[in-house]
Amino acid sequence: MSIKILPPGLAAKIAAGEVVERPSSVVKELVENSIDAGASQITVEIKSGGVEHIKVIDDGHGIPTEEVAIAFQRHATSKIDSEEQLDAIATLGFRGEALPSIAAVSRSVITTRQPLEPGGFRLELLWGETVSSGAQGCPAGTAVEVSDLFGNLPARRKFLRSSSAETSRIQELVSRYALVFPGIRFQLLVDGRVSFTSPGNGLPREALLAVYGPQAATSMLEVHGEDSEIGYQVDGFAGAPSLTRANRTYMTFFVNRRWVQSRMLSYAVEEAYAGLLQVKRYPMAVVNISIPYEEVDVNSHPSKREVRFREESRVFSVVQRAVRAVLVADSPVPNLAPPLHSDYPVTVAPSFFPRSAFGSYRNAGYSHDGMPDFQGGFAGGPADAAAPRQQAPPLKVVGHLKLTYIVAEGPAGMFLVDQHAAHERVLFDRISQKPTEREPQSQPLLEPVSVELSPSQGDTLQSNRESLENYGFQFEPFGDGSYLLRAVPAIFGETDPAKSLLDVLDMTAFEGLVRQKEDVTAASIACHGAIRAGKSLTEPEMVALLEQLEATPNPHTCPHGRPTMVHFSSNHMEREFGRR
Ligand code: ADP
Ligand code: MG
């Protein structure tokens, strides 16, 4: 074959391959355009994993009628107009490639209206060629509808993964953007059903709640840090060391609010947790790095998922230090020197209590899998090998601190007991006893309550149905994503039954990513049923709680692995007061 320039249609198809790899790339480009357009609300609709249909609707500034067709030409952009600007890109888009690339491999329809214009405009293209265009009334903002994706590229279409895999990529994408743009209300509809919404009220923690559920949202720590000399700023959330995951996908990074993938940034965060996590466990983190635009090259990757930093090691260090600072501040360790030789073998989950970073008994109490090893114990030695695995010390209530911690005196010093964690442990043990040994679990409702579930909550309910029923929930499908709730676990007492089910489902979905199935449901139910921090307790209630805790086989950690108690040893106190 002789060398010749390809016809434009074919060239466009090839170029489209770079930008539009799969349905989620279309969603990414369209959502980024909506963000760049200053939208405060972005709705994404997909059908069949996006192959059949994608529609992204925003309330942004729209496109002037006379520019709509231009937007679909290659290298047409309103975002940069000089070479210098390429060195300091403030928008998510800048290449002017997305719309033409998407249009080249689909049927695309755009309707758009600028807020101050009376009328809008509609343009329809098939495989990149205009089919029709003209004035059209429409809401202010822009809607781009893409259907029959890769209909003219059968090879590409064949290589797509299942529609559920594409759907989850899109869910991930939308939720990531919701995290870093808490001021934008995102909504994702999958096959006609709402799969995700974010409140868009500007509160980062509420965005976190929408994405990761109540447990992570309440327990993640806020990260702030800066390198003021060079103008870097780090903001976000990092999971407490007890909130770990089995892989790195729960670390999300943004650079100037652009979602990026970066090994370097993962390492920076992992480094911050050094000594705090068990092997093969990874933290949860959501981190945005704000950095002067000229310090970062965002034009180094076809889909802009990777970026290059001018001063990589400085970025590494500001992220690492910011995350480390909050972890250290949150840890009780600095105030709690570990006993060199404890009379009583009490400890807490190692992941929460980074002794290796501060203290001296790195090898003293933990078995190889990182869990507390009480047989080896601090007293140590083979003589203890037959000792009971765990036993809570007999504790005497001394007081109540911040309506959260029970202050108690034990055989070897002072103990602070977290009332929620302790009660969670007690309830968990109660409900996970064998059905023959336990009291009835279920508490029928006087009137059944109808509960509407999101598709993902519905999935969680279905896949955990057996254990939910086993622990006392009774429900039946009521059509259209609703369920009729007839009974709840007896331990819930008077709490709102519908809310209880939703809470338990959210927690189960979240915890289910890391734990064994049965445990997860029980842990979620226990967590929901347990007394909260901040609730005042009478002395008899505190005494009863400590007694019940002492009777459980694993009194030192809650079902999620957090410590139920921390210990201030008498030895330590004596040293601190210079008595020895
Ligand atoms: P880029 O985003 O790199 O500029 P695109 O091909 O994605 O290139 O879009 C081309 C142009 O169309 C943009 O520069 C912008 O002016 C306009 N545009 C695209 N989507 C929207 C939208 N949702 N709202 C307003 N303008 C848009
Ligand atoms: Mg764009």
List the chain pLDDT tens, one digit each, 580 residues. 788 888 877 777 777 667 788 999 999 999 999 999 999 999 999 999 999 999 999 999 999 999 999 999 888 888 887 777 777 777 888 878 899 999 999 999 999 999 999 999 999 999 999 999 999 999 999 999 999 999 998 888 888 888 888 999 999 999 999 999 999 999 999 999 999 999 999 999 999 999 988 878 888 999 999 998 889 999 999 998 878 888 888 899 999 999 998 999 999 999 888 777 777 788 999 999 999 988 888 877 776 788 899 999 999 999 999 998 888 776 442 234 343 333 333 333 332 222 222 222 222 222 222 222 222 232 222 222 333 345 566 789 999 999 999 999 987 788 899 999 999 989 988 887 766 666 667 888 988 999 988 888 888 898 889 889 888 899 999 888 899 999 999 888 888 899 899 989 888 877 665 555 567 888 888 888 899 988 899 999 999 999 999 888 778 878 876 788 888 888 888 888 888 7
**Distance (Å, whole) CA 178 – CA 186:** 6
Same domain membership, residue 488 and residue 413: yes
The kind and range of the H/E element at 224 are: strand 221-227
Q: Is 238 found in the same domain as 145?
A: no
Asked whether residue 354 is assigned to any structural domain, the reply reads no
Q: Which amino acid would we find at residue 95?
A: R
- Looking at the fold, whether 124 and 262 belong to one and the same domain comes out as no
b vs e for 94-114, b when ≥16 Cβ sit within 10 Å of the residue's Cβ?
Answer: bbbbbbbbbbbbbbbbbbbbb
Task: Please name the amino acid found at residue 541.
Answer: E
204 domain residue, yes or no = no
**Can you state the percent helix, strand and coil of the chain, rounding each to 5?**
35, 25, 40
What's 557's DSSP letter? Answer: B
Query: 120 and 254 share a domain?
Result: no
Instruction: Please tell me if the CB atom of residue 339 comes closer than 6 angstroms to any atom of ligand 1.
Output: no
Ligand 1 pocket check for 77: Cβ under 6 Å: yes
- Residues 193, 310 share a domain: no
100 Cα nearest atom in ligand 1 = 6
Radius of gyration over alpha carbons of the chain, in Å? 28
Q: How many CB atoms lie within 10 A of CB 201?
A: 10
Q: Is 96 in the pocket of ligand 1 (CB under 6 A)?
A: yes
Domain final residue pick, 330, 349, 383: 330
Q: Are 117 and 38 in contact (CB under 8 A)?
A: no
Residue pair 489/525 in contact by the 8 Å Cβ criterion: yes
Q: How far is the CA of 94 from the centre of ligand 2 (A)?
A: 6
CB of 553 closer than 8 Å to CB of 390? yes
Q: Are 284 and 216 in contact (CB under 8 A)?
A: yes
Q: How far is the CA of 63 from the centre of ligand 1 (A)?
A: 8
Query: Which strand ranges, in their side-by-side order, compose the sheet holding 405-410?
Result: 396-401, 405-410, 413-418, 565-569
Q: CATH no. for residue 186? A: 3.30.565.10
- Say how many Å lie between the CA of residue 524 and the centre of ligand 1: 44
CATH code of residue 227: 3.30.230.10
CA of 141 to the centre of ligand 2 (A): 15
459 Cβ contact list (under 8 Å, min separation 6)? none
Residue 309 lies in a domain: yes
The ligand whose atoms approach the alpha carbon of 96 most closely is: 1
Q: Which atom of ligand 1 is nearest to the CA of 61?
A: 25
User: Is residue 2 assigned to a domain?
Assistant: no
User: 10 Å Cβ neighbour count for 292?
Assistant: 12
Of the listed ligands, the closest to the CA of 64 is 1
Q: Which of 26, 66, 303, 289 is nearest to 170 (CA)?
A: 26
Residues 27 and 175 reside in one and the same domain: yes
- Nearest listed ligand to the Cα of residue 97: 1
Most ligand 1 atoms within 8 A of CB, residue of 30, 58, 77, 114 to mutate: 77
Together in a domain, 369 and 502: yes
In a domain, 563, yes or no: yes
| Domain-terminating residue out of 330, 348, 372 | 330
Q: How far apart are CA 564 and CA 339, in angstroms?
A: 18
The position carrying tokens 């990757």 is 301
pLDDT of residue 434: 67
State the distance from the centre of ligand 2 to the C-alpha of 314, rounded, in angstroms: 30
- Domain check: are 431 and 540 in the same one? yes
CA of 99 to the centre of ligand 2 (A): 7
Q: Is 93 in the pocket of ligand 1 (CB under 6 A)?
A: yes
β-bridge partners, 145: 55, 109
- List, in sequence order, every beta strand (DSSP E) within 284-387: 285-290, 296-297, 308-309
50 CA distance to ligand 1 middle (Å)? 20
* C-alpha to C-alpha distances, 281 to 317, 322, 515, nearest whole angstrom: 22, 20, 12
The answer to whether the beta carbons of residues 359 and 338 sit under 8 Å apart is yes
Residues 167 and 281 in one domain: no
Last residue of a domain, one of 167, 197, 227: 197
**Residue 353: inside a domain, yes or no?**
no
Question: CA 78, CA 322: separation in Å to the nearest integer?
Answer: 36
CA-nearest of 142, 72, 66 to 104 is: 72
- Which mutation among 19, 31, 36 tests ligand 1's pocket best, with the greatest number of atoms within 8 A of CB? 36
Ligand 1 touching residue 34 (CB < 6 A): yes
260 and 184 in a common domain: no
CA of 259 to the centre of ligand 2 (A): 14
Residues 72 and 149 in one domain: yes
Residue 269 CA to ligand 1 centre (angstroms) = 34
Probe target for ligand 1 pocket from 41, 61, 99, with the most ligand atoms within 8 Å of CB: 99
Cβ of residue 60 lying under 6 Å from some atom of ligand 1: yes
Question: How far, in Å, from the CA of 208 to the mean position of ligand 1?
Answer: 28
> Is the CB of residue 23 below 6 angstroms from any atom belonging to ligand 1?
no
Answer whether 58 contacts ligand 1 (Cβ < 6 A). Answer: yes
Residue 344 falls within a domain, yes or no? no
Test site for ligand 1: of 19, 25, 26, 33, most ligand atoms within 8 A of the Cβ: 33
> Residue 78: CB within 6 Å of ligand 1?
yes
Total tally of structural domains belonging to the chain? 3
Identify the H or E element spanning 135: strand 129-136
Q: Is the CB of 63 under 6 A from ligand 1?
A: yes
Domain that holds residue 293: 219-330
CATH of the domain at 510: 3.30.1370.100
- Residue 21 pLDDT: 86
Does the residue 579 lie in any domain? no
Q: Residue 378's closest CA among 408, 348, 358, 352? A: 348
* 191 and 229 fall within a common domain: no
How many A from CA of 77 to the centre of ligand 2? 8
